[in-house]
A and B are shown apart, each in its own frame.
Chain A
Amino acid sequence: GENVEQHPSTLSVQEGDSAVIKCTYSDSASNYFPWYKQELGKRPQLIIDIRSNVGEKKDQRIAVTLNKTAKHFSLHITETQPEDSAVYFCAASNTGQNFVFGPGTRLSVLP
């Protein structure tokens, strides 16, 4: 089955700097890669996703890149703000299949 790894497990950046979180997956059939942001005690919120027919997607300060050949995808956050502090989860799935989540990255944006 699918296995998703995520790095780093914790990440601290200064406000205004960029943050990058990387995930790798094992199942080449996976075709959908969402990213969720979870603040303490709250639900995971979908922040951006990418499908296997594109290599990059951007939404304001957030971007995701996908390398299908290497089976890895990354989340990029630019101009980080304190409110970006949260745990970020990547996931991989195939159409109709369950999501497999990475272990999460705890991002701290220091003022």
Chain B
Amino acid sequence: GAVVSQHPSRVICKSGTSVKIECRSLDFQATTMFWYRQFPKQSLMLMATSNEGSKATYEQGVEKDKFLINHASLTLSTLTVTSAHPEDSSFYICSARVSSGLQETQYFGPGTRLLVL
């Protein structure tokens, strides 16, 4: 399958600081990437859809000014958690949409575990 990388894998930061997470498609171009948040023992919660060259589409309840998404190239999307607080601590996972004709699927990055102190 397609390879998606994510960096960093783990980050610990102080409350009030901003954290940037990168998601890269390594062997393909991804016009669409997705950002998910996952709490322990829970499912994947879609935060936003990141489209190359345009603004991200945020899910209801997700603050776009707090979770800044930039998809400046066909292989890179970034999520910046601004002014992070302890309640933002979570596992953040990106995925990339892979299309082949009418068929498409998603491949996930390895995730970033964020701990805000």
Chain A 86-107 interface mask (CB, 8 Å, partner B; 1/0) = 0001000001101101111010
Complex CA–CA separation, A34 to B44 (angstroms): 14
| 8 Å CB interface, A20-58 against B | 32, 34, 36, 41-46, 49, 51
Complex CA–CA separation, A46 to B105 (angstroms): 9
Minimum CB–CB distance from A64 to chain B (whole Å) comes to 14
Please tell me if B104 contacts chain A, counting CB pairs below 8 Å: yes
A-B contact count (CB 8 A): 45
The answer to whether A45 and B102 touch (CB under 8 A), given A89-B43, A101-B43, A104-B42, is no
Please tell me if B46 contacts chain A, counting CB pairs below 8 Å: yes
B111 touches A42 (CB 8 A): yes
> What is the size category of the interface that chain B forms with chain A?
20 to 34
When distances are taken between beta carbons in the complex, the residues of chain A under 8 Å from B102 are: 95
Chain A 1-34 interface mask (CB, 8 Å, partner B; 1/0) = 0000000000000000000000000000000101
When distances are taken between beta carbons in the complex, the residues of chain B under 8 Å from A34 are: 105-106
A103 touches B108 (CB 8 A): no
> What is the size category of the interface that chain A forms with chain B?
20 to 34
A103 touches B42 (CB 8 A): yes
B43 touches A104 (CB 8 A): yes
Chain A CB count within 10 A is highest, among B43, B102, B107, for: B43
When distances are taken between beta carbons in the complex, the residues of chain A under 8 Å from B109 are: 43
Please tell me if B8 contacts chain A, counting CB pairs below 8 Å: no
Please tell me if B34 contacts chain A, counting CB pairs below 8 Å: yes
Interface residues of B (CB under 8 A from A): 1, 34, 41-44, 46, 49, 91, 93, 102-111, 113
22 sampled A-B residue pairs with Cβ under 8 A: A32-B103, A36-B108, A41-B111, A41-B113, A42-B110, A42-B111, A43-B93, A43-B109, A45-B108, A46-B1, A46-B105, A46-B107, A49-B105, A89-B43, A89-B44, A95-B102, A95-B104, A96-B104, A98-B46, A99-B46, A102-B43, A104-B43
